[in-house]
Amino acid sequence: MTNPKKKKKGGDPRWDHFAQKAQDRGYKARSVFKLMEIDQRFSLFHPGRRVLDLGCHPGSWLQYAAEKVGPAGQVVGIDRTETEAPRPNIITIQADLTQPLEHGALAKPFDVVLSDMAPDTTGIRHVDQDRSMMLAEIALDYAVRLGRIGSAFIVKIFQGPEFQKYMASIRQHYSGVRCVRPEATRKTSIEVYVVATGKKTDSHLTHVDQPMQ
């Protein structure tokens, strides 16, 4: 039985049953249940696959993806905040994704590219939407360049005026594109997740710099 004293960690009003479940199961954030639901619906992760997690901190998506791909797979996470790699099949890179990036772990194509990146919010809706769109465009660029033919791409985005234009851009590169709102998404949030499957063209590594020696 769950200890009622643990219901709100430190009195945090954002602490809910998803946060409690994440803590109880050893995950670093409640957002893991968004990825779990998406995976259950679209069957994205399989043993031996390579996964790229953009904006990976604090690491719950890394944890889940690493469990699903197993020891024969690999998960590479990138974030501007240093992030622990809790399993042998995880590599984390501390880097700013808005800047050019060179790293040997990016030299091979990926089967799944994830982005749960969110901007530093201002509370001004159109500003936050624009910042979210910028991050989503960066994520799409990585997915197109580093995803193999048939790969999948999952990206979080705040819906705004440019959303349909962004969806059209994704459809140029993927055969299946869906917009989903997982149950763990907070009711007050304007975020949605775009799930793209079946990457059409083999454009991976086209613009990637040579890996660091």
Reported as a single tens digit per residue, the pLDDT across 146-182 is: 999 999 999 999 998 999 999 999 999 999 999 999 8
Of the candidates 153, 164, 147, 155, the residue with the CA atom closest to the CA atom of residue 201: 147
Spot the catalytic one: 156, 165, 187, 199: 156
Q: Where are the domains of the chain?
A: 32-193
Instruction: Check if CATH label 3.40.50.150 holds for domain 32-193.
Output: yes
How confident is the model at residue 12, as a pLDDT?
65
How confident is the model at residue 209, as a pLDDT?
35
| Residue 31 C-beta-side C-alpha neighbours within 13 Å | 23
Q: Which residues pair with 158 in a beta bridge?
A: 191
Residue 9 has pLDDT above 90, yes or no: no
Q: Quick: pLDDT tens for 176-206.
A: 999 999 888 878 788 999 999 999 976 544 4
Q: DSSP secondary-structure letter at 207?
A: S
Active site (annotated) includes residue 156: yes
Alpha-carbon distances, residue 42 vs 35, 46, 76, 127, 153 (angstroms): 10, 11, 21, 32, 11
Torsion of CA 60, 62, 64, 68, to 10 degrees: 180
How confident is the model at residue 187, as a pLDDT?
80
According to DSSP, the β-strands at 191-199 and 50-54 are: unpaired
Q: Quick: pLDDT tens for 110-145.
A: 999 999 998 888 889 899 999 999 999 999 999 999
pTM as predicted: 0.86
Alpha-carbon distances, residue 15 vs 6, 33, 117, 122, 162 (angstroms): 9, 14, 20, 21, 32
Q: DSSP secondary-structure letter at 10?
A: G
Residue 24 has pLDDT above 90, yes or no: no
